Structure 1
Amino acid sequence: MNDLAPLLTPEGRALLDTVRDTAPADELAVATRLRREHPAELVSAALGQARLRQRAAVKFGAEDAGRMFFTPNGVEQSTRASVATYRAQRLRELGVTSVADLCSGIGGDAIALARAGIRVLAVDHDPLTAAAARANADALGLAGLIEVREADVTDIDTAPYDAVFVDPARRSSGRGRIFDPEAYSPPLSWAIDTALRAPHAALKIAPGIPHETVPAEAEAEWISDGGDVKEAVLWFGTAPGAVRATLLPGPRTLLGRGLANPGVRPLGRYLYEPDGAVIRAHLVAEVAEDLEGGLIDATIAYITADELRATPYATAYEITDQLPFSVKKLKALLREREVGILTVKKRGSAVEPEELRRKVLPKPYGARSATVFLTRVAGAPTMLVGAPA
């Protein structure tokens, strides 16, 4: 079913409530029973929507997801609610009261903006996606703040709005994920031109964007949530040339200070693993300076230091052993330490963690846990053994 309208009727909504918690294994039996009383196409659509809502709960929370309407692409590509809320709050703090949300999808960002008290024009060219955004605004009681328009974003006059938000499509049905910013839909160059004409703007982009492609007029921010890097944002009308890494929940924000790359030093007692947003933002040097530490290798984003210091921007591990790469030696060490739970991390190593885990810990040797880092120290393949500090 390529139309949400039947699901928005009283019969459709009642059916959605009926199938809300249907487990995948029970779908066939539930569908067979319900088709005796409802059209088969409506039953299939309701079960499909229930499945999408269950998947979307991770991003939107069970309460909101249980009331919203989704498309498969909408679940996959929409912004996590925590990230959208943070971004909306930043715009609110800039004094923004209205936003043209271009490429709005099923309305995840528009919802966060409206909940921040910002009036939103949500634009998407796909009829089903626009219908989902309209239904979501209504379902969450935000229709008074969100206008949904089915249109080509390049035809929209953004002049009446305080800010522009653009989330270009970065996936293609035929090619999968798109890495070339000029292959985004719309292209990044168009989004930047549009942003430069607005008092404020935020462009959501892939976190792997090369730093050299960030325009001089933009502030670049990398955002992680729960340790996972979610996106990068180019801000206009804020602090041109600034770089920041923001960690959620919090938020905690690390601002770049223009430091040179930290030097390499001998391995100390502690190893610090910077958050992914810090690494993507090229702010490892700022964290190393705060920790009075250095790198274990010029090409590896692990920081080492002699003292344990609290920082939200890196996870600390106490290192007990440093070994040249050797499956036999590591297996013997784990047996000696009575390790039964092993976490394997890697940076600068071609060895797959799961493969190593199977080789060195074919069975638990005891109840203790350990963390092994597969990496390089001063250019040499090395295994570091330790535990969270």
Structure 2
Amino acid sequence: MEIESFRALLTGQGRDLLAELREFTPSEELALATRLRRDHPAELVRAAFEQARLRQRARDKFGADAEAMFFTPDGVEQATRRSVADWRARRFAGLGVARLADLCCGIGGDAIALARAGVAVLAVDRDPLTCAVAEANAAALGLAELVEVRCADVSEVDTTGYDAVFTDPARRTSRGRVFDPEAYSPPLSWAVEAARRTPYGALKVAPGIPHELVPDGAEAEWVSDHGDVKEAVIWFGTGAAAPHRATLLPGDRTLTGGDLPDPEAGPVGRYLYEPDGAVIRAHMVAEVAAQVGGRLIDPMIAYVTSDRLVPTPFAHAFELTDVLPYNVKKLKALLRERKVGTVVIKKRGMSVTPEELRRQLKPSGPNTATVILSRTDHGPLMMLGQPVGAWM
């Protein structure tokens, strides 16, 4: 989308078109576009359809806000999910941050969350269209007084006088994802220096960042939303007592640690605990094992087992009915005997795919079961059971 086409969407005519396209479906597009072109410029109609499609895609990340916001294709893909941005904004506000420089602000998702938390934001990006979209989004949501958008190279921005810096480097190129943090734009090393120039700082990185790349004295946080790991953030200036943090949304449930030794492995007990992905990424399975008085089923597998049922929000618990060596024929017979037609399959350390295994099992019947497959030092296991409760 060209910036001129985008600005046309901000006119009364453009907004009227967007309102008319709010709930359109792909099957209606051809006839609807033909009708609208009779009364509106073809380029404006094209831009409105593109924006309407982007808004529909953005609903998953931004909820009701998506209907008022504006997007670019990259912006929808790369913007922070609202729940995660709101969490980070609450952390900044809780630290006493009043003025923050949001470097590489994109379409303004984080700037909006920060402004809603009462933080005045300088939002910086070097792409003119992206800046125009960020500015329009702040205005659309009534936050323009708290968000100043500046089109500039972040390396040229003076952050003197700001309480904090937040940097979200680009981790994609035209060829796909970038895995080397020094190939981020800007590089990890530059972003670390920028974060350390203000009292507080945060740097968004890929969840798979090697732990050895986390700078000394920083706090690394992994965030999941409804069980899916969304991002990792390196924090500066928080004075955290522990180097790692795992945060589970919704509910702002946080586990800190990262210093415990790996738990010992032992036999499978009555209960199996599957730690949240953020806990696993943060290397804090040991903290969960300590909470439930558990052990690993294998030194290299993130399943914790215990003979006790202990409530924890940081792992899903399963009560096991069967623990057997992995064998597809035996598993199929067992499920048939128990009239299991709905099977949830989980696995770690095994090459089998749940979809292929389900086709082999051909489950049938009114009952449900969870099948958990895992590699162990004593050979692959299959464990059958049922989930136990939902703890917050």
In the alignment, what sits opposite 2:261? 260
Return the alpha-carbon distance in structure 2 between the equivalents of residues 26 and 333 of structure 1.
49
* Deviation, structure 1 residue 160: 2.1
Return the alpha-carbon distance in structure 1 between the equivalents of residues 26 and 310 of structure 2.
47
Measured on the aligned residues, the alpha-carbon RMSD in Å equals 1.0
AA partner of residue 56 (structure 1): A
In the alignment, what sits opposite 2:375? 376
Does residue 23 (structure 1) correspond to residue 25 (structure 2)? The answer is: yes
1:25-79 CA-partner distances (Å, limit 9, x unpaired):
2111211111111111111111111111111111111x21000000000000000
In the alignment, what sits opposite 2:250? 249
Given that 2:258 and 2:283 are in contact with CA atoms closer than 8 Å, whether structure 1 keeps it comes out as no
SS at match of 1:28: helix
Given that 2:373 and 2:382 are in contact with CA atoms closer than 8 Å, whether structure 1 keeps it comes out as yes
1:103-143 CA-partner distances (Å, limit 9, x unpaired):
00000000000000000000001111111000001100100
Given that 2:258 and 2:282 are in contact with CA atoms closer than 8 Å, whether structure 1 keeps it comes out as no
Given that 1:372 and 1:384 are in contact with CA atoms closer than 8 Å, whether structure 2 keeps it comes out as yes
In the alignment, what sits opposite 1:11? 13
Larger deviation, residues 316-325 vs 74-83: 316-325
Return the alpha-carbon distance in structure 1 between the equivalents of residues 311 and 366 of structure 2.
28
In the alignment, what sits opposite 1:234? 234
Given that 1:223 and 1:247 are in contact with CA atoms closer than 8 Å, whether structure 2 keeps it comes out as yes
Given that 1:264 and 1:378 are in contact with CA atoms closer than 8 Å, whether structure 2 keeps it comes out as no
Structure 1: 4+ residue segments shifted above 6 A? none
Change (3 A) 1:379 1:45: farther
* Deviation, structure 1 residue 196: 1.2
Determine which of 38, 58, 61 is the counterpart of 1:59.
61
* Deviation, structure 1 residue 239: 2.5
AA partner of residue 184 (structure 2): Y
AA partner of residue 205 (structure 1): V
Given that 1:121 and 1:146 are in contact with CA atoms closer than 8 Å, whether structure 2 keeps it comes out as yes
Given that 1:263 and 1:298 are in contact with CA atoms closer than 8 Å, whether structure 2 keeps it comes out as yes
TM-score w.r.t. the length of structure 1 is 0.97
* Deviation, structure 1 residue 217: 2.3
SS at match of 2:384: strand
In the alignment, what sits opposite 2:277? 276
In the alignment, what sits opposite 1:34? 36
Does residue 185 (structure 1) correspond to residue 185 (structure 2)? The answer is: yes
SS at match of 1:322: strand
AA partner of residue 248 (structure 1): L
Alignment of 1:360-375 (within 5 A): 360-361=361-362, 364-375=363-374
AA partner of residue 157 (structure 1): D
SS at match of 2:302: strand
Return the alpha-carbon distance in structure 1 between the equivalents of residues 239 and 224 of structure 2.
20
TM-score w.r.t. the length of structure 2 is 0.97
Given that 1:274 and 1:301 are in contact with CA atoms closer than 8 Å, whether structure 2 keeps it comes out as yes
SS at match of 2:297: strand
Given that 1:164 and 1:200 are in contact with CA atoms closer than 8 Å, whether structure 2 keeps it comes out as yes
* Deviation, structure 1 residue 382: 1.4
SS at match of 2:331: helix
Return the alpha-carbon distance in structure 2 between the equivalents of residues 257 and 22 of structure 1.
49
In the alignment, what sits opposite 1:337? 338
In the alignment, what sits opposite 1:211? 211
* Deviation, structure 1 residue 384: 1.1
Size of the alignment, in residue pairs? 385
Identity %: 65
SS at match of 1:101: strand
Q: Which runs of 5+ in 2 are unaligned?
A: none
Q: Which runs of 5+ in 1 are unaligned?
A: none
* Deviation, structure 1 residue 378: 3.0
* Deviation, structure 1 residue 2: 1.2
In the alignment, what sits opposite 2:224? 224
1:274-293 CA-partner distances (Å, limit 9, x unpaired):
00000000000011011000
Return the alpha-carbon distance in structure 1 between the equivalents of residues 342 and 34 of structure 2.
45
